Amino acid sequence: MTATRQTRTLHGARMSYVEACPDATRGGEDPEVVVLVHGIAGSAETWTPVLQSFERTGCDRLLLAAELLGHGESAGVGGDYSLGAYANGLRDLLAVLGHRRVTVVGHSLGGGVAMQFAYQFPEMCSRLVLVSSGGLGRGVSPLLRLASLPGSEWVLPALASSGLLGLGAHALRAAAAVPALTAHSVSLRETARHAASLTERAHLDAFVDTVRAVIGPGGQRVSGTDRLYLTEGLPTMVVWGDRDPVIPVGHARRAETLMPHARLELFEKAGHFPHCDEPDRFSGLLTEFCDRNAPADLDVTSLGPRVAARGA
């Protein structure tokens, strides 16, 4: 089983994704599909350790690591970088591929996109997995708050063109090799990969526009907590590193109390990328979660009475 990069054209723009475990499509029946959604300034590469883990152990579900508009190899010169637009892009990709229902796994910004996808298209969402997810509280890294400030659209390109962003990414990679920082090496490497992506102007523009869509100087501006009660009937798991420096682990604990029957898994000593810190544990949890929980069967009409009752 070898992961392969694929592309599709949606509304005239290229959308890229990495496909793994293609053996799941054999047999003539529709396979169960798991969609993996990366975070801000990320790409499908953040899921490579997880895909490799599945390739070692085997997988009976088709895995798709999608790349959001303006990220990775997905085209993105201008456009709408809101959570709703990202969710629409996932829906359109799945429609082109012919997948009717999927389990959605979202990391960081991708968690917010996953929640938005489940909210907008409940009939397409079988299960929901949130990994160090945005959209669950105000708290967020000070660096991301700074990126939302007026003028960042000029400052960041200047840093990129001067080579400072590239030097910063190199410094992070070097730090990851320092023995004293071994416990943080995975987070440092992933952060370096994200920072390096911003040396490309299209990625940098998408980063600034996306940050401003969801974050302000005071923290995260977009929250899905008021709608988490709608996850009732939707199998949901929350995964977090208990040493996450980007989004506080307290968001995970709060989400567990707001989501009916949600399962919380904390990765001890992991940072903002628990799926990279312990990919074998993560892939095992994902498999167990899907095996134990039958796909949801929801639609907009089933949500209506709950929405109405909430406001009564």
Active site residues: 108, 244, 272
Spatial CA neighbour of 245 closest among 174, 188, 283, 173 = 188
Nearest to 275 by CA among 53, 113, 116, 60: 53
Within a 10 A sphere around the Cβ of 78, how many other Cβ atoms?
A: 11
Q: How far apart are CA 166 and CA 183, in angstroms?
A: 23
- Judging by DSSP bridges, how do beta strands 125-131 and 236-241 pair with one another? parallel
Asked if residues 20 and 34 have their Cβ atoms less than 8 Å apart, the reply is no
C-alpha 107/C-alpha 274 separation (Å) is: 9
DSSP 8-state secondary structure symbol assigned to residue 296? P
CB atoms within 10 A of CB 143: 10
CA 76, 78, 79, 81 dihedral sign is positive
The position carrying tokens 């990129």 is 160
Kindly report the number of other CB atoms within 10 A of residue 297's CB atom.
12
